[in-house]
Amino acid sequence: MHLKLLRQSLSTEPSQGGCESGSCGASGDRLSHLPDAIRDKVHNHPCYSEEAHHHYARMHVAVAPACNIQCHYCNRKYDCSNESRPGVVSELLSPEQAAKKVMAVAAKIPQMSVLGIAGPGDPLANPERTFETFRLLSDKAPDIKLCVSTNGLALPGLVDELCAHNISHVTITINCIDPEIGAKIYPWIFWKNRRIKGVKGAQILIEQQQKGLEMLVERGVLVKVNSVLIPGVNDEHLEQVSKVVKAKGAFLHNVMPLIAEAEHGTFYGVMGQRSPTNEELQALQDACAGDMQMMRHCRQCRADAVGMLGEDRGSEFTLDKVQTMEIDYEKAMEERKQAHAAIEANRKAQQAQTGETFVSPAQIKRPNKRSGITETPPVLMAVATAGNGLINQHFGHASEFLIYEATATAVRFIGHRKVDRYCSGGDSCGDAESALQKSIRALEGCRAVLCSKIGYEPWSVLEEAGILPNGEHAMEPIEGAVAAVYREMAEDGQLNRPESLAQMTA
């Protein structure tokens, strides 16, 4: 019984029944339900495995400037917002410059495991530049996984070439399967030397995306589908999209919130189209999760992002800096191999530790039914982490918090929330008060925040706001710590509240 509950707590998604097959070992390896070939592909890919993103880094190279469609959430002055966060223009690289940059990053960041091409336009609308970059890298950095993200229009015609370059992971952005909805997202596509507008253009795009998905799955490439959630446009449609792409063999579905700021000059931004709230995003992800594995840890990276998801070390690797770097790639590859072996040993130890520390909250006293309380409610907790799957960051140093939901039987990751750092030390504390208030707003709905340390001042303010600061689980694995805090709250009677209050946390 205990092991079963532990396994549920390690799952990133509600149980699909896979654990009952006997394939879940006591090791707590949460990818163990996957066939070996797929497990090999995802275990160190920070986007395809939620747990891997605590340990491994990715980078993008911006080699693809052109695009063959127009999305209403995109302004070409900025990166492709299918896979990127608009806001800063990436430094465009030639394939040779890109290859050199990848080798420099891979030599300096031992966690690096994946190279993705995701813009700033559409990689497959720039096939020569994209494939030349992949060709150079397969030669020079054969241990790096190759990944690409596309709007899908040119995909079917390039599937063979993608496979010839050993591209193991492909993301297709599919926002709809209904051309009427598509016409509200894509004003035009460029197809066979003509610009095709409205429903007709959207119809062609959708057909190409679906065909490309089927072809990739047939060839054993892992496909992730990204969808931009646009309230009032495709919000009621994406559950159906999820069902269809799952049926066609997509491995993962990543529903991302629309980013539409007027200052980005996009059609949606200028028209005042709103972005979804955290609650709307989570509700849709939960609705789709019944049908397939959902990605919830996407950071909507830039087309030249470098580092762990959520951090951007691009400024350490600008073109001028990279040009002057001396790289002994053979040596770097060997060092990375050792670093990855250490990461894997650490992951195993953490999973074992989680197993030892995790005691099911279901084993604690049940609430008294006469009080009108029927069940300990789910609780949201925020976690400050600097990586490695541990509670290892000072509250004031966090620029984002991971959000977990604990229930009586499971702990699951549900997303992240960005904040302004409350404290950067030294003389920069002038804005601390407003930054703290913003953090508190960002943590709305959370009952606790787990961090390695926290100062007295923010402690009091958080407590007053009903968010319990907790520094008692510093350096512990996240899921085990969240489960332990839930148990402590339940034992203290903090969860024994009338149903009306309990609903506030869900």
CB of 145 to ligand CLF, least distance (A): 8
How many amino acids of this chain bind ligand SF4 (CB under 6 A)?
11
Alpha-carbon span 310 to 420, nearest angstrom: 13
How far is C-alpha 250 from the chain's CA centre?
A: 16
- Is residue 253 involved in binding ligand CLF (CB under 6 A)? no
- Is residue 159 involved in binding ligand SF4 (CB under 6 A)? no
Q: Which of ligand CLF, ligand SF4, none interacts with 416 (beta carbon under 5 to 8 A by kind)?
A: none
For residue 99, CA distances in Å to 105, 106, 255 come to: 10, 11, 30
Q: What are phi and psi of 379, to 5 degrees?
A: -130, 135
Q: Which two tokens stand for residue 212?
A: 């490309």
- Is residue 151 involved in binding ligand SF4 (CB under 6 A)? yes
CB of 36 to ligand CLF, least distance (A): 21
Placement of tokens 């007709």 in the chain: 200
Is 477:353 a contact under the CB 8 Å cutoff?
yes
Complete DSSP assignment for 26-46: TT--TTTTS-HHHHHHHTT-T
Helix axis angle, 198-218 to 155-164, nearest 10°? 30
- Is residue 171 involved in binding ligand SF4 (CB under 6 A)? no
CB of 126 to ligand CLF, least distance (A): 15
Q: Which of ligand SF4, ligand CLF, none interacts with 71 (beta carbon under 5 to 8 A by kind)?
A: ligand SF4
Q: Which two tokens stand for residue 484?
A: 């332990």
- Is residue 67 involved in binding ligand SF4 (CB under 6 A)? yes
Alpha-carbon span 461 to 166, nearest angstrom: 52
Q: Which of ligand CLF, ligand SF4, none interacts with 121 (beta carbon under 5 to 8 A by kind)?
A: ligand SF4
How many amino acids of this chain bind ligand CLF (CB under 6 A)?
18
- Is residue 60 involved in binding ligand CLF (CB under 6 A)? yes
User: C-alpha angle with apex 263: 262 to 266, nearest 5 degrees?
Assistant: 60
Exactly one of 102, 104, 107, 118 binds ligand CLF (CB under 6 A); that residue is 118
Placement of tokens 């966090």 in the chain: 398
Exactly one of 61, 62, 102, 114 binds ligand CLF (CB under 6 A); that residue is 114
**Please, which residues have CB within 8 angstroms of residue 181's CB and are 6 or more apart in sequence?**
175, 202, 233, 234, 237
For residue 156, CA distances in Å to 127, 162, 209, 227, 242 come to: 13, 10, 8, 19, 20
Q: Which two tokens stand for residue 301?
A: 């990276």
Q: Which of ligand SF4, ligand CLF, none interacts with 81 (beta carbon under 5 to 8 A by kind)?
A: ligand SF4
Q: What are phi and psi of 15, to 5 degrees?
A: -55, 135
Exactly one of 19, 80, 221, 391 binds ligand SF4 (CB under 6 A); that residue is 80
CB of 295 to ligand SF4, least distance (A): 18
Give the per-residue contact string, 84-123, with ligand SF4 (x = CB under 6 A; - = no): -------------------------------------xx-
- Is residue 74 involved in binding ligand CLF (CB under 6 A)? no
- Is residue 70 involved in binding ligand CLF (CB under 6 A)? no
- Is residue 302 involved in binding ligand CLF (CB under 6 A)? no
Nearer to ligand SF4, 173 or 452 (CB): 173
Is 394:384 a contact under the CB 8 Å cutoff?
yes
CA nearest neighbour of 397 among 484, 471, 297 = 471
- Is residue 137 involved in binding ligand CLF (CB under 6 A)? no
Alpha-carbon span 229 to 459, nearest angstrom: 35
Stretch of 10-18, 209-217, 233-241, 293-301 lying at the interface with ligand CLF (CB under 6 A) = 293-301
Exactly one of 8, 168, 234, 300 binds ligand CLF (CB under 6 A); that residue is 300
Residues forming contacts to ligand CLF in the complex (CB under 6 A) are: 47, 58, 60, 83, 114, 116, 118, 147, 149, 169, 171, 224, 254, 298-301, 309
